[in-house]
Copies of this chain bind each other. A is one copy, B any other.
Amino acid sequence: MAAVTLSQVAHAAGVSQATASRVLNGSTRVPGEDVAERVRSTAERLGYVANAQAQALARSSTRLLGLVVQDIADPYFSSIARGVQAASRELQRQVLLASSERDLTLQLESVLALIAHRADAIIMAGSLWDEESVGNLRHALSGYADNGGRVATIGQPIGVGRTVEPANSDGAAELADALVDAGHSRFAIICGPAEMRTSKDRVRGFTASLTRHGFRPEAIVSADFSRDGGFDAAGRLIEETNLPGSGGAPLCVFAASDVMAIGAIAGWRARGIGVPRDVAVAGFDDIPTLRDHTPHLTSVELPLEWMGRQAARLALSGSESGAANDVIGEAAVRLRESTSLAVNSGRHGRRE
């Protein structure tokens, strides 16, 4: 790449490189308007675009914001990414995006790549690790932080940097409260893999609330944290539990994410089991793209985009006392058709 260089512009404009630099890249020490104008028009004419790599090296600040997500196509992460992106624009940063694919090795590689690029800050969304494997990651991150790098995690603290914590446990507990209030009395759970903290927290909150109300889940089925995982789990669940006949109390299933809930509904439908006619279902996240699903899904809304923005803010704002250290993404229960009891009283229930 032989792009136009600052020194070329300076030469063509008949000034020193220092002057050209000061004119073109917002220095407070502004040269005379005549010279400035000459430099500007020369730069324009030559099509000069400053080399950000060289600037970064000279300033030792890249204005890069690193973001690692598990899967950018997952609506959960793409919503967060949107928030990060928006905040980074306001904060004049560029986003360096890495995907970890739920693979611990890739996750470490991603982080290392972001460190190599000397991103001013690194945001890790939906990180996945167990206590053994987290060592390398934490080591890399804390070295990075020691050198002035800023770290923010979304989901769980990793011991370095600040964190945006979604109210997974509390939200799930409030959901259980609301479900009990609505009249449900039989519960089961579909969740993700045991080592996934997001899923674990949600199950924990849900179960704890149930216990307070004097209930406990009749079954807990774990599967891949995906639509297909929910589909499979739906099948396994009905083998483990009794769906009531027309007389009994209906079963209410909490799926640890909307995406799993959708899969479960599809799985039941394939077996002729209707929601909420034969079984009630609640999800988590309240993904916007799924708001028009039929039946409308009871869920727990999380401010995903806002959480992305906050993570960027936490990571980029000074470490001074002013800024909060951690922030909570508050959850809000949305009771909807999928857990409705009204239509559940008999076999003749109509949807709508």
Using a CB–CB distance below 8 Å, which chain A residues touch chain B? 1-3, 47, 49-54, 56-57, 60-62, 67, 71-73, 75, 78-79, 81-82, 85-86, 89, 94-99, 106, 112-118, 143, 147-149, 227, 259, 262-263, 265-266, 287-290, 292-294, 305, 351
Contacts and interface: CB of A to CB of B under 8 A. Distances in A.
Contacts of A85: 72, 97-99
Given A118-B1, A147-B2, A95 B97 contact: yes
Contacts of A2: 147-148
B73 A305 contact: yes
Contacts of A50: 116
A122 B51 CA distance: 16
A94 B73 contact: no
A78 B72 contact: yes
A247 B75 CA distance: 42
A54 B59 CA distance: 12
A51 B54 CA distance: 12
Total copies of this chain within the assembly:
2
Nearest to A293: B293
Contact of A75 (B75, B97, B98): B75
Contact of A118 (B52, B62, B72, B79): B52
B82 A73 contact: yes
Q: Which of A47, A53, A118 is packed against the most chain B CB atoms within 10 Å?
A: A53
Contacts of A75: 73, 75, 78, 289
B265 A49 contact: no
Contacts of A292: 227, 262-263, 265-266, 293
A81 B89 contact: no
Contacts of A351: 351
A220 to B, nearest CB: 23
B147 A60 contact: no
Contact of A81 (B72, B106, B118): B72
A89 B99 contact: yes
Given A3-B118, A94-B114, A262-B292, 7 more contacts: A3-B147, A51-B57, A72-B82, A73-B288, A86-B99, A95-B97, A293-B293
Contacts of A89: 99, 106
A259 B288 CA distance: 11
Contacts of A98: 85, 94-95
A148 B1 contact: yes
A270 to B, nearest CB: 11
A94 B85 CA distance: 16
A147 B81 contact: no
A75 to B, nearest CB: 6
Contacts of A149: 1
6 contacts: A1-B60, A1-B118, A57-B57, A75-B75, A94-B96, A96-B96
Contacts of A262: 292
A126 B254 CA distance: 38
A263 to B, nearest CB: 7
A51 B95 contact: no
B116 A49 contact: yes
Given A62-B53, A147-B3, A72 B72 contact: yes
A303 B162 CA distance: 38
A298 to B, nearest CB: 16
